[in-house]
Amino acid sequence: MSAIIYYLALPFIYLISLLPFPALYAVSDGLYLLLYRVLGYRKDVVLANLRNSFPDKTEEEIQRIARNYYKYLCDLFLETFKTLTINKKTMLKHCYFNPKAKVLFDKLAEENKSIILVLGHLGNWEWAGNTVSLQLKQQLYVIYHPISNKYFDWLMYKMRTRFGTKLIAMKDTFREMLENRAELNATAFIADQTPAPESAYWTTFLNQDTPVFKGTELIARKINYPVVYATVKRVKRGEYELFAEMLCEVPKATTEGEISELHTRKLERDIIAQPEIWLWSHRRWKHKRIKQTTNTLVEQ
């Protein structure tokens, strides 16, 4: 059944990818009406996340951010498919480096330093990967979760690797990074997903107790690559600028939790600046903080 759905959908996906941008965004406007106005896709999750994250905002402000988020989500969905057929010149016109970010990456490449990139689901992270692969000297690797549907997983793999990006399944991250140590590379971790609560670093993020994956920090401290925080800002519809800043030059010299705290604070800052372009429909806060008692773990 999954194969049938895939092959029925594939021609429409390619048709969408071939649309000129004005037509693409016209389709996105229609998709927004369906997703937000008719289906109300995860609207309860989005509104709850926004209200808890911004307790000082009025309900009118919350509803406005929610509407803008759904408009953006539809754009993001269709822009991702655009990667199937977009050419390099057009890609770099729609997603480009801030000059200071490019200088930072070039300087690290000149020093022959491989790096760890950490970012969140903010802006068009898929297009950002294309831009990094097209313009940096470092070979880009992206940590990813394979999709359960093998046909759509293959399609996403094709899109993500089209401009030279290589993928690493999460379970193989450290092993493959060690195997690639002779190569100048950048390994990207999208660090705002939801880990198991018992193995997470816990902090306050957007006014809520939040678990953070320890993997980025643990690997950084073991392999001792400089950690660079990257963020994707939306300039206007269909146009993004990629920023970057040094987060930690010598990870092995940091204390436990330090790197996790640093990249979480940077992401929080950038979400507050452009809240409508973060992934609010994700169940980011589905776990509660747990505390250690004498014999058991209990939820607070």
Q: Are the beta carbons of 238 and 75 closer than 8 angstroms? A: yes
Q: What is the pLDDT of residue 288?
A: 86
What is the pTM for the complete model shown?
0.93
Residue 37 carries which DSSP code?
Answer: I
Residue 34 phi, psi dihedral angles, 5° rounding: -70, -50
CA–CA gap between residue 4 and residue 201 (Å, rounded): 42
Tens of each residue's pLDDT in the chain, 300 residues: 778 888 889 999 999 999 999 999 999 999 999 999 999 999 999 999 999 999 999 999 999 999 999 999 999 999 999 999 999 999 999 999 999 999 999 999 999 999 999 999 999 999 999 999 999 999 999 999 888 888 889 999 999 999 999 999 999 999 999 999 999 999 999 999 899 999 999 999 999 999 999 999 999 999 999 999 999 999 999 999 999 999 999 999 999 999 999 999 999 999 999 999 999 999 999 998 866 433 334 443
Residues whose CB falls within 8 Å of the CB of residue 37, separated by 6 or more in sequence, listed in order:
none
Q: What is the pLDDT of residue 291?
A: 64
Nearest to 190 by CA among 205, 170, 165: 170
Cα-based torsion angle of the residue sequence 158, 161, 166, 168 in order, rounded to the nearest 10 degrees: -40
Q: What is the pLDDT of residue 294?
A: 36
Q: Are the beta carbons of 213 and 229 closer than 8 angstroms? A: no
Output the six-digit token pair for 141: 């690797």
One-letter amino acid of 185? N
- The 10s digit of each residue's pLDDT in 35-64 is 999 999 999 999 999 999 999 999 999 999
Residue-wise over 169-180: b if at least 16 C-beta within 10 A, else e?
eeeebeeebeeb
How many whole angstroms from its chain centre is CA 155? 18
β-strand 290-292 against 297-299: which pairing, if any?
antiparallel
Q: Is 146 exposed, middle or buried (0-12, 13-18, 19+ CB in 10 A)?
A: middle
Where are the domains positioned within the chain?
Answer: 2-283
Q: Are the beta carbons of 284 and 248 closer than 8 angstroms? A: no
